[in-house]
Structure 1
Amino acid sequence: MPAITTEPLRIAVLADSDTRWKWGALTARRLAPAGVEIRLDGFLLRGRATPTARQLQETGAHADSLREVTAVEFVRGMAEERYDVLVLALVGGGVQAMLHGLRHAWGSGPRPVVVTGYVGVVYEKLADGLLLRHGADLVLANSAHDAERFRDVYEGVGADASAVTEVALPFLDGAPYTGQHEPFTVVFAAQPSVPASRADRAYLLSRLIGHARRHPGREVLLKLRSKPGEHTTHIEELPYQKLVRGMDPPANFRLVYGHMGEVLDRTDLLVTVSSTAALESLHRRVPTAVLTDLGVREALGNHHFTGSGCLTSWDRIDAGELPKPDPAWVARQGVVSGGTPSGGGSYEAAFDTARERIAALLTRPGSLPPLDPYYTAETAPGYLPGILARHHLGPDGAPLPGAP
């Protein structure tokens, strides 16, 4: 695709957690045409999940500038600063608030191309989350499967579905798995809120420790997302670091932090309930197990993996099972082992359509039309004002008096 301009492409990313910052920053870089210099400015939305410096470092996603802002501060800043592309890497309500706040701030004047999407597996609140993201110029879907579902939701409520754009997760990289390491390494990818109860989390931890005892020749790692006191995309009420106290794990069991890609470099079996890490693992052809011990349930998110060939239990893993993924299922998820997305071509080409759409929007005559979310004072008068008020915005998107 030809370069849009000889000037650096200016991209802003607004994120509200460490995982969303990682997705937003890496997506922003993949959206830039090859050979085009970019300037990436990062903004962290102040809130309960605002990442720490350690968490930001672990993501491996960097920016030319990075600062913390309130919603109103960001909206006011966007009215004064010029950007070509804005990536909203936020929870659904945050995206909706920004769409209305920015619509009010920009009016019918010049504005950037606005892009949003999802960090990983979309297994809950599909309609709610999608409609809260409606109004962006591009709503990114991480696979053909997601793109089809997204369009069905929008068309089903009479909303314009043209913004849905198929891409892939931006952090699927690293060398493909070529064979067992020494020692054989099992990694359990923990999730902050799945499962939620103490009993279920203690069960999974006891089985992981039990696997380490049954296989003293293996290295068994519990990969954690955050340290006690830190928050990520989902709040962790019962961190495994606390649950492991008093369980007396064997010497071949360890807690690990760090970049998921680096952990996968030495992994022979990735075990999880429903973490997006499973997609990273499958992309690299690492054997991947999605647990059924607590049931296959929407509340756990592992129902997303039905048909994948990865569903199994600790009993089978203890007995030596290494699940074999179904190629057709993996292809539909945009993470075909070997890096070929469902539509054919290479993983590197997965963002081509998004780049082309952004280029067309940036080169069209005149200003882009005002943002047009599905939710308005007419379509959702009992829902929208509360979402906006949480970010100190009025029903019309204007900052409320006394907003921080």
Structure 2
Amino acid sequence: MPSRNSQAVRVAVLADSDTRWKWGALTARRIAPDDRPTELSGFLLRGRATPTARQLAEVGAEADALREVTGTAFLRALREESYDIVVLALVGGAVQAMLHGMAALRTEFRPVVVTGYVGVVYEKLSDGLLLRHGADVVLANSLYDAERFRTVYEGVGADASSVTEAALPFLGGTPYTADEERDTLVFAAQPSVPTTRADRTYLLRRLVEHARLHPHREVLLKLRSKPGEHTTHVEEYPYQRLVEKVPGGTPPNFRLVYGNMGEVLDRTDLLVTVSSTAALESLHRGIPTAILTDFGVREPLGNHHFIGSGCLASWDQLDGGGRPSADPDWSARQGVVSDGSYAAAFDHARERVTKLLDGPELPPISPYYTVTTAPGYLPGLLARYHLAPDGKPLATAPEGADSDASGLRRVVREAVRGAARGAYRHGVQRVAPVIRRMGEL
């Protein structure tokens, strides 16, 4: 039976990594109608970046129920269970696949579908946006993003009414004041920026040298994952391995840290990164934030997004005591609302979702990409998620969630999956670099 008229609003969040789970779960809580209780069911899409229990605990986003599924198992859950809102916290291709799969379900009542981005959108703007088209609500994290999103949709003749301005759901924390007794520099690492071993070794060397130059300052390298874990992007050269080879070792005021970024920022008085979304969290609190220019200001690095921010700086400038000051106009357009208005940042999105829930039955899901508009692209994309061009599961689609299997089968399956992920990590972090070096001989 549909739950549209039930007392509680039932929300399903499908995520494919730790960071997207954090975004999806926190977003779901913020956009659900505030006059009714919310039941949040979490689904983790099985794949390379499926988060571990430690990663889930670290992000601090909870659900009333949580299970790991394949894409086809998630679609089956939508058919057999009843949800009012579905939040797709996935890469663009997976969003598109789930949209077509949901369209093919043709249930009597369908949920409101919400999607968006987990952070700064600095690459593949048109590709990612068109893969998300078809959702009822495409969240933009700032006025700047909302304008860009609408321009893309309108430019290809697609309906842009789904674009809804909001903000990143995990901003917050105690505002920073300069008179606090803090002396902690935090470098927010990224799994794939920069990519080469030489560049990542350079960053680590400069961080260690900064610690030696400032022996009374705490210097922290904030890492997203531990060895053996994966997040949104592949990390070919983990800093944990590179730090083992630092000549002379590291000084006592230098440490690797994990944990929730918000808790780390509580003691930070200078945040340094290449282009991490952590910069927006830091700017929201008013913490001095530096976007590194040591490798240039380039699109592949993502630091071009911060042009005009007032935050661009090099390690030489930071070693000399530089503390960038963010431009308030730039910050406001980027959704870094540190003026107290953040509490209302999700009001419009919540109103839109509530209106869709309480209004007439929703029309069929209608993505921009179809077998007519993209016949050379869409079928292959859907096949990667075991869906036919019409959105229905292929005959070769894998079976459902592990919760349906016996205890023994589940243990065996987990062991095989763990071995496969280990082999994948070994290939990325060990074999691939060797092959590249051989090719350069």
With the length of structure 2 as denominator, give the TM-score of the two structures: 0.88
Partners of 1:150 and 1:180 in 2: how far apart? 40
Q: 1:351 is aligned with what amino acid?
A: F
Tell me which of 386, 396, 400 is aligned to 1:392: 386
Corresponding residue for 2:79? 79
Corresponding residue for 1:342? none
**Matched residue SS, 1:55:** helix
Q: Any residues of structure 2 matched to 1:182-193 within 5 Å, and which?
A: 182=181, 184-193=183-192
Corresponding residue for 1:368? 362
TM-aligned CA distance change 1:280 to 1:24, over 3 Å = same
Tell me which of 368, 377, 381 is aligned to 2:371: 377
Q: Any residues of structure 2 matched to 1:4-403 within 5 Å, and which?
A: 7-106=7-106, 109-179=108-178, 182=181, 184-247=183-246, 248-339=249-340, 346-365=341-360, 367-403=361-397
Partners of 2:11 and 2:220 in 1: how far apart? 37
How far 1:80 moved relative to its partner? 1.4
How far 1:184 moved relative to its partner? 0.5
Offset from partner CA, 1:74-111 (integer Å, 9 cap, x none): 1111011111110000000000000000100135x211
TM-aligned CA distance change 1:379 to 1:403, over 3 Å = same
**Is the 8 Å Cα contact of residues 284 and 338 (structure 1) preserved in structure 2?**
no
How far 1:363 moved relative to its partner? 1.3
How far 1:5 moved relative to its partner? 6.6
Partners of 1:386 and 1:278 in 2: how far apart? 36
How far 1:320 moved relative to its partner? 0.2
Partners of 2:184 and 2:61 in 1: how far apart? 26
**Is the 8 Å Cα contact of residues 182 and 269 (structure 2) preserved in structure 1?**
no
How much is the aligned-residue C-alpha RMSD, in angstroms?
A: 1.1
Q: 1:402 is aligned with what amino acid?
A: T
Identity of paired residues, percent? Answer: 73
Moved more, 41-50 or 350-359: 350-359
**Is the 8 Å Cα contact of residues 327 and 336 (structure 1) preserved in structure 2?**
no
Partners of 2:245 and 2:196 in 1: how far apart? 19
Moved more, 93-102 or 329-338: 329-338
Offset from partner CA, 1:283-321 (integer Å, 9 cap, x none): 000100000000100000000000000000000000001
How far 1:364 moved relative to its partner? 1.4
Q: 1:249 is aligned with what amino acid?
A: T
Q: 1:318 is aligned with what amino acid?
A: D
Partners of 2:143 and 2:373 in 1: how far apart? 29
TM-aligned CA distance change 1:126 to 1:280, over 3 Å = same
Specify every segment of 5 or more residues in structure 1 that has no aligned partner in the other structure, as ranges.
340-345
**Matched residue SS, 1:245:** helix
How far 1:246 moved relative to its partner? 2.3
**Is the 8 Å Cα contact of residues 205 and 244 (structure 1) preserved in structure 2?**
yes
Moved more, 166-175 or 27-36: 27-36
Q: 1:357 is aligned with what amino acid?
A: R
Partners of 1:63 and 1:289 in 2: how far apart? 34
How far 1:32 moved relative to its partner? 1.9
**Is the 8 Å Cα contact of residues 183 and 217 (structure 1) preserved in structure 2?**
no
Partners of 2:11 and 2:179 in 1: how far apart? 41
Specify every segment of 5 or more residues in structure 2 that has no aligned partner in the other structure, as ranges.
399-441
Partners of 1:183 and 1:400 in 2: how far apart? 57
**Matched residue SS, 2:221:** strand
Runs of 4+ in 1 over 4 A off after TM superposition: 180-183
How far 1:180 moved relative to its partner? 5.4
Moved more, 33-42 or 174-183: 174-183
